[in-house]
Structure 1
Amino acid sequence: MTDPHVPPVVLLTEEEVARRVEDLARQIAPVIDDDTVAVCLLTGGLWFASDLTRALARQGRHVRFDALWLASYGDERASLGRCEVRADLQRPLAGRTALVIDDVIDTGLSLSEAHRLVRDAGASRALTAVFASKPWPTKRAIVPDFVAWEAPARYLVGYGMDSAGALRGLPYIGALD
């Protein structure tokens, strides 16, 4: 459990996070169009998806928005080893590019499941973007198409990443070790 009196060690400042999001938007913008549907993985991906879709707009890409709510952790620090779909897609994807957006690829189960779900929904192309990529995805995990930051093997919080629901709203990325 998180001790609220011990602040996380800052790994990326708010300014570094913002710069990496802008850099990633410059990479993504040329390979998508305005018919692309940005699919945010809830709940952790919300912060990154919000910033990334605004950064894409600054690059002239005005994507549509949808969300998938998948759960593989609950309030635990380790994956449960399976994904539960708590809320499905609302927007039609048939014939469109889907850009699945998540805060972090850790085990890779959620991102892989989301990729499968958008393909099953008829997306003509399924791309993935994560803010942080940890060094140990499972063998079943897909490799993200776009990564803003290669994260260290630490327990990350902030910018959507949490510890039992706490610390998601930090504007920076920190570590609890």
Structure 2
Amino acid sequence: MPTSKKGPKSKLPHPDLERVLVSEAAIKSRLKLLGREISDAYGDQEITVIAIINGAVFFSADLLRHITSPVRLDCIRVSSYRNSTSPVSEPRILDTLLLDLENRHVLLIDDILDTGRTLSVVIAEMRKRKPASVKTCVLLDKKVRRDVDLEADFVGFTIPDRFVVGYGLDFAERYRNISCIGVLKPDLQNPPEWA
């Protein structure tokens, strides 16, 4: 795994992080509250959760443990970033769902809402399946990057315009397993040797 060669070793959870933006403890605390918000919103109604993977794997797994409403789970894979810090193309849905969504309450879970293009494409696809409702839940909301008129129904944290990794978020499929959310050092974003 690439690491920065600058500066002495730090107390950060990974040497490639410039700083921690959201600590592991803050994530755990917020997920309990978020699970309660979602449970209160749906009550005893069954929710069909659609996790957008790979980014939302950690978030979805941990969040679902705090939701008391009945849950069905499916996953969908969407391509938009590849090996870049910015979306390189219009998002494409790569997988089909196994669960029937007709007349079901759908909750889409994603790791980050920035431009809004990925979530917009997935919402449009879900609505074609005639659900009773579609709501969205994101771990991170980066409002300054929004290209489309879209707000998530449930939000973990609102963050500034920094490129973040950890807790499921990646750069070129690296860093997902860091337990916090941190800002990736600028000299490691889009290095040519990773291409």
Q: Give TM-score scaled by structure 2 length.
A: 0.84
After superposition, residues 60-99 of structure 1 pair within 5 angstroms as 60-99=68-107
Please tell me whether residue 152 in structure 1 is matched to residue 160 in structure 2.
Answer: yes
- Consecutive unaligned residues in structure 1, runs of 5 or more: none
* Identity among equivalent pairs (%): 28
RMSD between aligned residues: 1.5
Q: 2:16: which partner in 1?
A: 7
Q: Hey, what's the Cα distance between the residues in 2 that align with 1:17 and 1:132?
A: 11
Aligned residues: 173
Unaligned stretches of 5+ residues in structure 2: 5-14, 187-195
Note closer, same or farther for the CA distance 1:78–1:139 as it changes in structure 2 (3 Å cut): closer
Counterpart for residue 191 of structure 2: none
Query: SS of the counterpart of 1:136?
Result: helix
Q: 1:81 to 1:141 in 2, by over 3 A?
A: farther
Q: 2:40 aligns with which of 30, 34, 37?
A: 30
Match of 1:169 among 177, 182, 187: 177
Give 1:29 deviation, angstroms: 0.7
Task: Give, in angstroms, the shift of residue 15 of structure 1.
Answer: 1.0
Deviation at 1:152, TM superposition (A): 1.4
CA distance in structure 2 between the partners assigned to 1:155 and 1:110 by the alignment: 17
1:143, distance to aligned residue in structure 2 (A): 0.8
Q: Report which of the two structures shows the higher radius of gyration computed on alpha carbons.
A: 2
Q: CA deviation at 1:141?
A: 4.4
1:17-56 to 2 correspondences below 5 Å: 17-32=27-42, 33-56=44-67
* Residue 109, structure 1, aligned to residue 117, structure 2: yes
Q: Shift in Å at residue 36 of structure 1?
A: 1.0
Q: What SS is found at the alignment partner of 1:74? A: coil
Partner-residue secondary structure (3-state), 1:102: strand
Output one character per residue of 1:68-114: Cα deviation in whole Å (capped at 9) or x when no partner.
Answer: 11111111111024011111111001001100001111211111111
Return the letter of the residue paired with 2:30: R
| Whole-Å separation in 2 of the counterparts to 1:159 and 1:121 | 30
Q: Secondary structure at the match of 2:38?
A: helix
2:34 counterpart letter in structure 1: L
What is the SS of the residue equivalent to 2:130? coil
* SS in structure 2 of the partner of residue 52 of structure 1: helix
1:124 lines up with 2:132 in the alignment: yes
Once the two structures are TM-superposed, the CA of residue 138 in structure 1 deviates from its matched residue by 3.3
